[in-house]
Amino acid sequence: MTAYSVNFGMSIACPLMAGGLNRSAQSLSKEEMECMVMGQGFHRGFTAAEKTELWDRWKRGGSLKAIGRAFGKPSSSIYFLVAPHGGICPAQRRRSRLALTLAEREVISRGITAHQSARSMAELLGRAPSTASREMNRNGGYDRYRAALTDENAWARARRPKCCKLANSPRLRQAVAGKLRLDWSPGQIPRCEKLAICWGFLAVTLFAARPE
């Protein structure tokens, strides 16, 4: 495989992609980069501790090959981790102080196993009963709640920016478009159709999508 420099705008070769050769690294999606690495037979990823050390070596000026040797990986594996972020270490994600932690979710999971009520679990956590109840209802209910999976999903939901709800739901999009064709206002549509969408958000979305 061709050696890569720290210039992320250089062209690279990939036999797995349509078009094949000389595609700019900046135009590759994260999924395509992962596909290229997997195609070369490198399946094991980096742990959180390894990623921290990798970025530390990168900030100290280590080359892709030198960092790769330190981890026993080819330089391409290092490149495909560094390139999507433009060579800048991503900011560490922090949980809101209001959000439930993994330890608190473990308390809820053990409480479910012990057949405790939501109010009892909330007292152990020092939280409102509605918090424990909402947490369980949002993540599989009393019978299917799993602390580790719930915490992982919570991290995923907290990612920003999020895709617009209208873009994710064809049914919602069709309902809104139908009412707009009838000259309904953004304030009328959610109330009359009982749609799970805020009229203010709908108005902002429509205004942003309006052609200039």
Q: What is the DSSP string of the chain?
A: -----S-TTSEE--TTSTT-S-EEGGG--HHHHHHHHHHTT------HHHHHHHHHHHHTT--HHHHHHHHT--HHHHHHHHGGGTTSPPPPP---TTSPPHHHHHHHHHHHHTT--HHHHHHHHTS-HHHHHHHHHHTTHHHH--HHHHHHHHHHHT-SSPPPHHHH-HHHHHHHHHHHHTT--TTHHHHHHT-SS-HHHHHHHHHHHS--
Higher pLDDT, 17 or 183: 183
Higher pLDDT, 101 or 189: 101
Q: What is the mean pLDDT of residues 5-9?
A: 38
pLDDT of residue 60: 93
pLDDT of residue 181: 86
